[in-house]
Structure 1
Amino acid sequence: MEAIIANTEKQINDAFFVRKEVFVKEQQVPEEEEIDHLEDTSEHIVIYDGSQPVGAGRWRFKDGYAKLERICVMKSHRSLGVGAIIMQALEKAAAARGASAFILNAQTQAVPFYEKQGYHVTSGEEFLDAGIPHLEMVKDNKQ
């Protein structure tokens, strides 16, 4: 597995492909909500298994944090460590630009995965995003 910062149109389209497969087709998120106005101001990561894109995520700065978003893994590659590879790649890319604290909105069912990556739930309450329950989580590398 290889994590790539998406710099070419093909790599960005590969990231969008994975996101559409997972979020739009599998989780029924409307495509107009999945692909949004923040795409051009975010840095995208795509994970390849050979030449096949199998995972994706993006990050951007927001309110002093690196906000990690749209983290997903193709069904065929779940439980193979791809999610951890995405998280490491996103955090490394953000840290290279000066980030030391990270925030994300986790689907509630994925909270245990993010906890294993060093994140903890903030004091915020559960909320719906695209009809899916989420919790805000943070990680501060300064600790």
Structure 2
Amino acid sequence: MKAKRVTLEEDLRIAFHIRKEVFVEEQGVPLEDEYDEFDNLNGQCAHILVYFEEQPVGTGRVRWVDEFGKLERICILGPYRKFGLGKVIITALEEIAQDRGTTRVKLHGQSQAEGFYNKLGYQSSSSVFIEDGIPHLLMTKDL
């Protein structure tokens, strides 16, 4: 298991494919909502891929919003969700944020994953809200 920062367009396309499979095909997020102006390699955010047995199976990104690093688009292909890869993604994104001098991170976590994020030190900072038809919570953490 390893995380790799995306620096090539080819790797970014792999991340997009993983996101499409998880968010659009599995969870029903509209395709037009999944991709945005930050889905590029121009420095507005940093994307990562996580690998299991040399295969890319998960992704995420961190974007800088105000004083926060905002962790976004975190997902893992279904068959690989029980191997601890979520923690690998979160840790890698937090390290990127810290390397940039960010001391606080936040995310919109799906409410069903609240316990997972709590175990990684995140605190719920909102009531449940709906994003793309899915219940979410704002969660924050001091690095």
TM-score (norm 1): 0.94
Offset at 1:61?
Answer: 0.7
Alignment of structure 1 residues 16-35 onto 2, 5 Å: 16-35=16-35
Match of 1:28, SS state, is coil
Structure 1 residue aligned with 2:116: 113
Query: Residue deviations 1:70-109, cap 9 Å, x none?
Result: 1001101011000000001000111111111100000000
Offset at 1:48?
Answer: 1.6
Alignment of structure 1 residues 39-118 onto 2, 5 Å: 39-40=39-40, 41-118=44-121
Gaps of at least 5 residues in structure 2 are none
Which of 134, 139, 142 is matched with 1:140 structurally?
Answer: 142
Offset at 1:39?
Answer: 1.6
Q: Runs of at least 4 residues of structure 1 off by over 6 A?
A: none
Offset at 1:42?
Answer: 1.7
Identity of aligned residues (%): 45
Q: When the two structures are aligned, how many residues end up with a matched partner?
A: 140
Match of 1:125, SS state, is coil
Match of 2:90, SS state, is helix
Gaps of at least 5 residues in structure 1 are none
Match of 1:80, SS state, is coil
